[in-house]
Amino acid sequence: MPGRFGIGDLGPSAYEFADFLFAAGQKLWQVLPLNPTGYADSPYQCFSAFAGNPMLLSLERLREIGLLQESDLGRGQSPPFPEDFVDYGPVIEFRMAALRRAAQVFFADGSGAERAAFDGFCQSASPWLDDYALFMACKDAHRGAMWTLWDPRLRGRDPQAVNEVSAKLAPEVNAYKYWQFEFFQQWNQLKGYCQQRAIRFVGDVPIYVAHDSADVWAHPELFYLDDLGRPTVVSGVPPDYFSATGQLWGNPIYRWDLLAATGYKWWIDRFRASLALFDMMRLDHFRGFESYWEVPAGETTAIHGRWMKGPGEDFLSALENACGELPIVAENLGVITPAVEKLRLQFGLPGMSLLQFAFGNDPQGPSFRPHNYNRELVAYTGVHDNDTTVGWWSSSGAGDSIRTPEDVRKEHDFARAYLNFNFSDDAEINWIMIRAVLASVADVAIIPLQDVLGLGTEARMNLPGTLSGNWKWRYRRGALKNHLSARLRSLVSLYDR
């Protein structure tokens, strides 16, 4: 989102976007994971599966409630932050300085009522907050070093070492707790604003957590690690449509046997925390709960892995018993077997369909064509791992390990025939695809904002298999034009959405 301070946040632009959704007749707002990002700024590699990202805090709101002064927000003019992308290094440096100032003022001048609200939050969130805040404070004290490189006593969470460092770093620990308190306040305010407009949030629950995270540091017994805390096997997927060498995510693998012995307590706690944030959730890499791709640590690609049996029915039953009906969208893209689909259908979870995959040589192509949709489906033009629709259509296939120029030509010919448009209509490809998804029988249809804006590859959010340059796109101030919301609203009305 646009804004003065280098990255979209929970401030004015979020409310403007909610107004745009309302004007466009939209009822769902899907977001990427909102956790504090770590390696490569990826929302799928976070320092905590429970905490909110402090970078998303609205500095304007902190100024409005007296925790910051305008002089604290002077950066953003000389030189200005980029409008079209997030330059994470300077953004993090600037925002963390402002957030530290806000925490100092809060603890020095906060009212009794504010401190009581903070104390109540800390108590209710203590099962994850204490570990997260201490982890981040220790990480800062070690200049960002991974927890496996800390002092062995602290790395192994020796009780005496933990007590000593907790006392030594108490101000820093409290600051991290305060930012979480403020994050959940700001999020709940935005969520309430959306609820008043009948807009629900669709969140995203990554299947894995980052190795360098409070989750793994606090619960090493739940993962396959060696005596020094390093993973012995890591996550990924074999070669597929997205990448010829697969995707090597590198996250540690769960010890599902030990999780089962606890009744999946950690996962149930995580799921309940997500339910407090979101109305529905995309369960990332659903395939991995039936069988997951395990790669030996040290491999440079995901090619040399093996399929391992996941927790399957036992896990989902435990979630359902603890939380009730599961408001989950199963991310069932990639190599999907009958066993995966059986598991999904057993629990009544809608799957996903991507229209970009409907016309090429993906073996699952027929299932992505709207005439084969069923109602229990969430249909997209594309998702964060895809190119934008305009970018996908404009690609020549040159240098593409997945699609050759001849593949692209055939794909275009088929798409034109299927969607009934001519070469002269190519400039409208994003709206042609949007219309096809909204006209389908799928109960839910979600469109990436880049496709509504008609942007090309420059607005792509993520290129799987690459380690840098992702998660940076921002839309420009003023991009949410009235004619776009009117066009979306007319399609919503036309197709009874």
Catalytic residue among 385, 387, 411, 451: 385
Do the beta carbons of residue 464 and residue 242 sit within 8 Å? yes
Q: What CA–CA distances, in Å, run from 196 to 193, 199, 489? A: 5, 8, 18
Whether 172 sits among the annotated catalytic residues: the reply is no
Do the beta carbons of residue 225 and residue 219 sit within 8 Å? no
Q: What is the CA radius of gyration of the chain?
A: 23
CA angle 84, 248, 297 (to 5 degrees): 135
d(CA 351, CA 344): 8
Tokens 């994850």 locate to: 128
SS3 call for 294: strand
d(CA 455, CA 438): 19
Assigned token pair, 123: 């108590």
Do the beta carbons of residue 95 and residue 5 sit within 8 Å? yes
Q: Is the dihedral of CA 336, 206, 216, 464 positive or negative?
A: positive
**3-state per-residue secondary structure call for 176-241:** HHHHHHHHHHHHHHHHHHHHHCCCEEEEEECCCCCCCCHHHHHCHHHECECCCCCECEEEEECCCC
How many C-beta atoms lie closer than 10 Å to residue 449's C-beta? 19
Assigned token pair, 420: 């009934």
How many C-beta atoms lie closer than 10 Å to residue 140's C-beta? 14
Phi and psi angles of residue 270, each rounded to the nearest 5 degrees, phi first = -65, -40
Do the beta carbons of residue 229 and residue 148 sit within 8 Å? yes
Whether 385 sits among the annotated catalytic residues: the reply is yes
Catalytic residue among 9, 331, 387, 411: 331
Whether 87 sits among the annotated catalytic residues: the reply is no
| Partners of residue 377 on adjacent β-strands | 351
Catalytic residue among 16, 19, 284, 428: 284
Active site residues: 284, 331, 385
